[in-house]
Structure 1
Amino acid sequence: MERAIAHMDLDCFYVSVERLLNSKLIGKPIIVGGTSDRGVVASCSYETRHFGVRSAMPMRMARQLCPDAIILRGDYEAYTKYSDIVTEIITENTPLVEKSSIDEFYLDMTGMERFFGTWKYAQELRDKVIKETGLSMALGLSTCKTVSKIATNECKPEGKLQVSGQEVKGFLSPLSISKIPLCGAVTTQTLRNMGIANIGTLSRMPLKLLERTFGKNGRMLWERANGIDNTPVVPYSSQKSCSKEITFDRDTTDIVLLRGILMKLTEELCFDLRQSGFNSGCITIKIRYSNFDTHTRQINVLPTTLDHVLIGHVLNLFEKLYDKRLLIRLIGIRLSKLTRGLEQLNIFDQSSKIAPLYQAVDAIKNKYGKNKKGNELIGKALHITQPHNTQALCT
């Protein structure tokens, strides 16, 4: 039986959500990402792509290419909310789904042909997502992940494309080698230096030559160029870690600023973990200096998501890792060794007394969000409940 793998991709997802929230942005050039010159483009509208703007491009370059673009920092809570809505619609209507990113999904629809008509059903599901969310979505359907993803990219924006098993080679052959997923800039340039510009030429290259040049990746490139990809659709992957980091507009040694940012990042991560029902048993601090040297240090702790507990460990790690002679470009935190369940509290320690306060703070954040109004209410709650010992909890 021939496999039937669908790939669904939400077009310009961050931009699409921003336009749902503010209809005045429709039709205008939009860039979502870091607003400083050191920031990068997270997403951009098709209006900006005509000027050469692309995702992962430095914001400074994007501004130069499209000076009239509206630049938005982004509302990641809203993006997560809409992504979850789409995920729920797809998983309720498909037996095997892999969510590969916040806006991409692989669906294994093998065997559904005899009951529904796979292509018809995939189109109906795409239409359902568009109708119920207002977001645009592209759809590709083929015999494997690689070809279905390429098909999706070829029919954007808002298109749909089916490539049957007999059509795979004819479909792939004229396309640029840069269309192959995970074929990066260095690999692409090396192939072009070898005289290989399109996928058809790559598919006819001797496998041993590619393996000598690229090692194990040589076989992967040859197989994908020939439409061979047996990678399964993996329905679930448990969360292993969560992280946050900040790149500064200007390199700094401001110890007060650095401490404050570490505390804020820790509080945000702890809140996210509590909402997901996880505890963290490992903390990692990351520092990148102005010369781009990057250093990390980690410590194992008893699993918890209490801000005041983890903040103490974070600040201690920072003191041990930080070289006070060097300017810092980036700082970040990663919480790992995640375990499901609620933390076991000891009725005789301070944590058990503060637990109700965390519940109140989380309830305020859930109701009002991490905005100015929510933070003001949290500050009042902390002042009334624990005026002396909970300063670090306020975001």
Structure 2
Amino acid sequence: MIIHLDLDCFFASCERVLNPSLEGKCVAVGGRGDPFIFDKKPIADKKLMNINSGAFVPSLFHARYDSRDYFKDGDTLRGIITTASYEARAYGVKTAMSVHEALRLCPHLILLPPNHLLYHTMSHELMEYISSVVPVMEQYSIDEMFGDLSGWIAPEDTYDFIRDLQHQITMQFKLPVSIGASSSKWIAKLATSAAKPYGVRLVKENEIESFVKDIPIGEFPGVGKSFSAKMARYGIKTIGDAWRSQSLIQSWGRAGTDLYQRFRGQDHEPVQSKRSRKGIGMSRSMDHPIESRDELYRRIHILVRHWSHTIMKLGVNPTTYAFSLGYENGLSSKKQYTLYRLFNEQFLQHFSIEKFRELDLYPHSSVRYIGMSANKFTRHDPKSFDLLEIDNDTKMRHLTDALTQVRDKYGLDIIRGGGEL
């Protein structure tokens, strides 16, 4: 059997562990695109964590934001809700809603800035604990985990095991969790959704068809809006409809065949104790679009420094880089490049600035978005590095290693480039 754990209202639940007086009250954690990253004054408590990922989970953050100022931009409130307690949800507050709208629906809402260091730490500690009682665990996101009980817990004992596991987590960590179990990862995840809030649900193999038949196709993990719309054109609106459309779905190639097996709980996809990261990105949307190109490139220098530090901490060497700019008028410009260089910060700074200058096709328009990402690491695409650059890149790599160690010890802003000032 495979189990899936989903921590209920995780960010809000962590805040309640820290402050029990929040229990039973309308609580929400909000987020912004880090309004402080571009400050000219160095910030001492900036942290980098790369053990978790997922929606609304940055790898770079401050240890704790000031709740009085975090959502304010002059007289305007900015930000979105990332987690709302069930008490707040009763008033219509939900994830991705604007902070302004949430406070309109629930004026007595206790709105908190994110404390990502706390959330990462609690997630990591919980994962360590569960790994001590479940042999094979997969961290799916900061608040979701899979576990494989095969050969460890007899199928007939699964329900008692997950009920006890839920109790132990509540007692030891004070965190509410819902747990689903089935013979397939994705059916187990659906079982968790059915168990929420704070419940457990076991779906045996002979119960899968009756369990999934009325679930909307868009609720199945990995089925996005476009795929749901495509299926709807063929009259496939529920997973039960998909079960009856084998020939059609499998005619869509390997992806269709794999998806059909998932629908039936017959995919045999394993729980992966280690998940290979495929890309590293850094982006920011600006509350106030930038007209000055000097300020634009100052911000790009800052983002590239943080991006480089993340790449170094993960110990990978990208070979493909993508850059994008979004303008206030709705236009955008993006491009991707592949080259084989030994990664170092000096190379990335020079290369990024050069490519962003080429990318700025509308120099008289204000920029509202800056994005950059790297993928196709050398472990996935092994080729020789550029021989004309390898000697200099090796020297600069040693320097980047030293910079990474200093920033780890004294903070990400302790050493900054001249282009950031």
The 3-state SS of whatever aligns with 2:342 is: strand
Match in the other structure for 1:32? 30
Rate the CA distance shift 1:328–1:160 in 2: closer, same or farther, 3 A: same
Deviations 1:174-217 (A, max 9, x none): 444443223444555666677666544x25634345567x7777
2:272 is equivalent to residue 234 of structure 1: yes
Which amino acid letter does the alignment assign opposite residue 364 of structure 1? Y
Q: Distance in 2 between matches of 1:205 and 1:358?
A: 55
2:410 is equivalent to residue 364 of structure 1: yes
2:251 is equivalent to residue 205 of structure 1: no
2:309 is equivalent to residue 312 of structure 1: no
Q: Where do 5+ consecutive residues of structure 2 fail to align?
A: 33-70, 380-389
Rate the CA distance shift 1:22–1:254 in 2: closer, same or farther, 3 A: farther
Q: Where do 5+ consecutive residues of structure 1 fail to align?
A: 383-388
Match in the other structure for 1:94? 134
Q: Distance in 2 between matches of 1:254 and 1:8?
A: 47
Match in the other structure for 2:180? 140
The 3-state SS of whatever aligns with 2:273 is: coil
Q: Distance in 1 between matches of 2:205 and 2:249?
A: 25
Deviations 1:359-378 (A, max 9, x none): 3332023xxxx6xxxx5xx3
Q: Distance in 1 between matches of 2:138 and 2:85?
A: 26
The question of whether the paired residues in 1 share the 8 Å contact of 2:299 and 2:420 is answered with no
**Partner residue of 2:11 out of 10, 14, 34:** 14
Percent same amino acid at aligned positions? 26
Q: Distance in 2 between matches of 1:210 and 1:171?
A: 20
Rate the CA distance shift 1:351–1:305 in 2: closer, same or farther, 3 A: closer
2:367 is equivalent to residue 328 of structure 1: yes
Q: Distance in 2 between matches of 1:64 and 1:220?
A: 44
Deviation at 1:67, TM superposition (A): 4.9
Which amino acid letter does the alignment assign opposite residue 257 of structure 1? E
TM-score where L is the length of structure 1: 0.75
Deviations 1:88-142 (A, max 9, x none): 2233332322222222112121232349933333444444444443322211011
Deviation at 1:245, TM superposition (A): 0.8
Deviation at 1:224, TM superposition (A): 4.9
Q: Distance in 2 between matches of 1:58 and 1:220?
A: 37
Higher relative contact order (CA 8 A, sep 6+): 2
The root-mean-square deviation of aligned C-alpha atoms, in Å, is: 3.9
Q: Distance in 2 between matches of 1:286 and 1:105?
A: 33
The 3-state SS of whatever aligns with 2:153 is: helix
Match in the other structure for 1:158? 198
The question of whether the paired residues in 2 share the 8 Å contact of 1:6 and 1:148 is answered with yes
Which amino acid letter does the alignment assign opposite residue 9 of structure 2? C
The 3-state SS of whatever aligns with 2:181 is: strand
Deviations 1:266-291 (A, max 9, x none): 22233334444445555432212331
The question of whether the paired residues in 1 share the 8 Å contact of 2:344 and 2:396 is answered with no
Q: Distance in 2 between matches of 1:189 and 1:318?
A: 36
**Partner residue of 1:51 out of 88, 91, 102:** 91
The 3-state SS of whatever aligns with 1:303 is: coil
Deviation at 1:42, TM superposition (A): 3.0
Match in the other structure for 2:56? none
User: Aligned residues, how many?
Assistant: 366
Match in the other structure for 2:159? 119
The 3-state SS of whatever aligns with 1:232 is: coil
Deviation at 1:144, TM superposition (A): 0.7
The 3-state SS of whatever aligns with 1:100 is: strand
Q: Distance in 1 between matches of 2:374 and 2:264?
A: 41
Deviation at 1:15, TM superposition (A): 2.3
Q: Distance in 2 between matches of 1:160 and 1:99?
A: 19
Which amino acid letter does the alignment assign opposite residue 30 of structure 2? V
The 3-state SS of whatever aligns with 1:82 is: helix
The question of whether the paired residues in 2 share the 8 Å contact of 1:9 and 1:105 is answered with yes
Q: Distance in 1 between matches of 2:209 and 2:277?
A: 37
The 3-state SS of whatever aligns with 2:221 is: coil
Deviation at 1:149, TM superposition (A): 0.7
Deviation at 1:39, TM superposition (A): 4.9
2:342 is equivalent to residue 303 of structure 1: yes
Which amino acid letter does the alignment assign opposite residue 359 of structure 1? Q
Rate the CA distance shift 1:67–1:334 in 2: closer, same or farther, 3 A: farther
2:298 is equivalent to residue 252 of structure 1: no
Match in the other structure for 1:74? 114
Rate the CA distance shift 1:339–1:189 in 2: closer, same or farther, 3 A: closer
TM-score where L is the length of structure 2: 0.71
Deviations 1:315-359 (A, max 9, x none): 22211211213332211222335469xxx9989967757865553
**Partner residue of 2:213 out of 173, 179, 194:** 173
Q: Distance in 1 between matches of 2:196 and 2:393?
A: 57
The question of whether the paired residues in 2 share the 8 Å contact of 1:297 and 1:317 is answered with no
The 3-state SS of whatever aligns with 1:304 is: coil
Deviations 1:244-265 (A, max 9, x none): 2111123332323322322222
Q: Distance in 2 between matches of 1:317 and 1:22?
A: 47
Which amino acid letter does the alignment assign opposite residue 328 of structure 1? V
Match in the other structure for 1:386? none
Rate the CA distance shift 1:322–1:24 in 2: closer, same or farther, 3 A: farther
Q: Distance in 2 between matches of 1:87 and 1:70?
A: 28
Q: Distance in 2 between matches of 1:166 and 1:116?
A: 13
Q: Distance in 1 between matches of 2:209 and 2:396?
A: 65
Q: Distance in 2 between matches of 1:190 and 1:360?
A: 51
The question of whether the paired residues in 2 share the 8 Å contact of 1:30 and 1:47 is answered with no
